[in-house]
Structure 1
């Protein structure tokens, strides 16, 4: 059975997943990387779309719509006394030289580009990227300099986006492997409860396939930009249910006469 057939079966069939406990570890790891790739695609799409839109509108925004500002010695300064917010069609821009708004304050927002007191932050569907001004040591930036910077970024976007995707993919994959390793241990507990013969390495293999349904579901929700209340809890519950049903499908050891 090839990887795509296993993918389809893993969406609905604990009985078939139970058979994958003897699958080669290399094939299982490849399957996990495929799942993590699929789960990363929606985030990359929305991030790319927002980035391109922001760059295209950036010149007008920084030169005409934002108050004059300056970034020097790791700090943002401006004549405004309160945070300035500019609402665009697909995202929001925040300029805050006062320090009243922190990265944590905007992490819950949808799509935000924020120039905060000490860092530049981009939030895209709960994916947060930040850049501290301290990395610009010795440099002085104003509105017109940002405008030039955006023009240069636009020229190398085809290089930047793949790098961002690789970072997102590696991070998502690391989280996925940790999750599988934790649930594989829970699979051993299920096996002992139901008197099934299951070693950790076999539990790891079936767990890697048990996460398929929640992974695909939440990838679709991300693609549709739909927030699922209690998403993390629902994700874990679905994984546990699939793992529970899969372990029960493993035949009991034969009793010697």
Structure 2
């Protein structure tokens, strides 16, 4: 049976999953690696799309929407006499070279990016992180300098993104193997309760295929950027149910007369 056939049957057939307990361990490990690769694809897509969009919007904002400014000697200066607020989808951009806007004012916007008098301040759900201009006190920065910086980042983006993806995939794969190993132990306990003969290594193979359905479901939810309330709980419950049903399909040992 090909890996694609196993993948399809693992979505709906506990009876077929039960047969996979005799599968070679190498083929099972490869299956888990491919499942984790599938689950990582939406994150890579959204990260790539968000990074490109952020860079393009950043270039447009700094060159076209913000007034000319200079960051020198740890301070932001411009000819503006009052703060400027630019509203974008999901966040605000605040520009204030007058010193009137405080960090607390920025936090009240929920999600915001602020160029203040003496610092760059980022807020996400009212959690803020500041970056002092004094870090660049030996350099003079203007709109065009930031535009060049963003352009240089765009040039290396296709080198950075694959590196991020590799680390993200390895992290996801590690979590996947830990999850399968935990469910393999649970499977042994279920087998004992149901009076089924099942060794840990066989239970590991069943667990590896039992995670298919929730993995595909959350792959689709991530692909369309839909948050599932209680997602972790639902994920593990579905894994447990598929594992339980597949162990039930294992024949009970014959009682010797």
Instruction: Identify if the C-alpha distance between structure 1 residues 27 and 41 changes in structure 2 by more than 3 Å, giving closer, same or farther.
Output: same
Superposition deviation, residue 63 in structure 1? 3.7
Task: Give per-residue Cα distances to partners, 1:44-76, cap 9 Å, x unaligned.
Answer: 111111111122222122344458696999xxx
Q: CA deviation at 1:9?
A: 0.6
Question: Which one is further off, 112-121 or 52-61?
Answer: 112-121
Q: 1:163 to 1:241 in 2, by over 3 A?
A: same
* Gaps in structure 1 of 5+ consecutive residues: 107-111, 124-130
CA distance in 1, matches of 2:245, 2:72: 57
Deviation, structure 1 residue 33: 0.8
Q: 1-side partners of 2:158 and 2:147: how far apart?
A: 19
Residue 19 of structure 2 corresponds to 19
2:202 is aligned with 1:202: yes
Structure 1 counterpart of 2:182: 182
The alpha-carbon deviation at position 181 of structure 1 amounts to: 1.2
Determine if contact 1:81/1:98 at 8 Å carries over to the other structure: no
SS of residue paired to 1:158: helix
Contact 2:21 2:203 in 1 (8 A): yes
Q: Under a length normalisation based on structure 2, what TM-score does the superposition of the two structures give?
A: 0.76
Q: Please list every run of at least 4 consecutive aligned residues from structure 1 whose deviation after the TM superposition is greater than 4 angstroms.
A: 66-73, 77-82, 93-102, 112-123, 131-134, 136-143
Equivalent position of 2:88 in the other structure: 87
Q: Closer, same or farther in 2 for the Cα pair 1:60/1:241, shift >3 Å? A: same
> CA distance change for structure 1 residues 139 and 206 in 2, over 3 Å: closer, same or farther?
farther
Distance 1:115 1:188 in 2: 58
- Given the superposition, is the C-alpha separation of residues 78 and 255 from structure 1 closer, same or farther in structure 2, using an over 3 Å criterion? farther
Pick closer, same or farther for the CA change 1:93–1:189 going to 2, 3 Å: farther
Structure 2 distance, partners of 1:251, 1:192, is: 13
In structure 2, runs of 5+ residues without a counterpart are: 96-100
Larger Rg: 2
Check whether the contact 1:114–1:122 (CA below 8 A) recurs between aligned residues. no
Tell me the residue number matched to 1:173.
Answer: 173
- Residue-pair matches, total: 237
Counterparts in 2 of 1:229 and 1:197: CA distance versus 1, 3 Å: same
Q: Deviations over 1:94-130 (max 9, x none)?
A: 669955589xx87xxxxx889997987999xxxxxxx
Paired with 1:71 and 1:189, the residues of 2 have a C-alpha distance of 66
**Aligned runs of 1:72-111 on 2, under 5 Å?**
86-88=87-89, 92=91
What are the residue-to-residue correspondences of 1:235-246 with 2, within 5 Å? 235-246=235-246
CA distance in 2, matches of 1:176, 1:69: 49
Distance in 2 between residues matched to 1:72 and 1:37, nearest whole Å: 47
Matching of residues 1-257 of structure 1 within 5 Å: 1-65=1-65, 86-88=87-89, 92=91, 139=136, 142=141, 144=143, 145-257=145-257
Q: Indicate the residue corresponding to 2:98 in structure 1.
A: none
Contact 2:221 / 2:227 at 8 angstroms: preserved in 1?
yes
TM-score by length of 1: 0.76
